[in-house]
A and B are shown apart, each in its own frame.
Chain A
């Protein structure tokens, strides 16, 4: 993406998410920024979830609804006092409805440096079969 290389990033606050169910634990819930793109073979989703460790991330695909749920443990150590605070940490939560049929067994998910990369391969289209019609 050469066209964006020299552009300065604009500061954007995190967007708080509206969770479908009420929370039992107090805390903030944010919507992660995502990129979604599709090729003939698969759908790829990239999500920015800084601070989420692999063991705290839940990716679930159930009846075409893809759920991303990542928990962030507060990075501050004990005895630290805020000097100033511009962002908050909390859960990341987002749901997507997929219109394609996904090959569930082949889903790949990787989390590196706070970015989730999820590869959702499409189910191979049924190969056309020729049906021979027998005559009498």
Chain B
């Protein structure tokens, strides 16, 4: 980068003398891209249960035994039988090793209100949280795009230049927009959620839908046409209400039941409208993903082709 800024090399051009520059920027950009893609691997390895950490599980009995022995250690700390921080940590780690829990639990020392060492137990979280991977993904991605620009010089003269630089720009822009949308989006959606959260609206909508389908099936056995109109109708007409009352058994009871059914329809429509409104906000928050993800996959494929072609030719 320093060479490019100092004008010693021309960004994007590759005469014989600048091969080293192009190779370095190219390989480092590739490495950063791969690191950025690792986030996706980490995410799906967990979701599908293939992460190596899944094999580290220890039996509940071992965890409990470790906690019990750590409890005895805490008692020794409380009675000041053990005060040296190094010794406390060593003893605690030994307990974790002896019980076979060292891979899943870790210990750390804090200080309690009385100034005594406070032995805390936490999970090891060996591959780090997904949030850290997402942050790293953003930084690696930004770094890779910058290097790709230095490497290719935003040249659109060749088909490969168009594909690689175009896709890089697309991934970068959609990613940055996505970053902004994910920062602001939760706030928008939370504001938009009035009485119902989007999850609650979804559950309620499905509940009403099931009830309406059941009611429609009952009506269908009495009057198929009415059953069709029941779900299709907008604002109910007087005639429709009358027919519905008759289909529900007639009389006062039939009329009451018809009113209940219409209320159910009204509630469903209201919840469905609310859900639709919230879904729109959620869609907007994630609108960048249908561009970012396919563009990233295409970019990876193009990079592989580019590297292979350079290698071979």
Q: Do A and B bind each other?
A: no
Binding site for B on A (CB under 8 A): none
Residue numbers of B with Cβ under 8 A of A are none
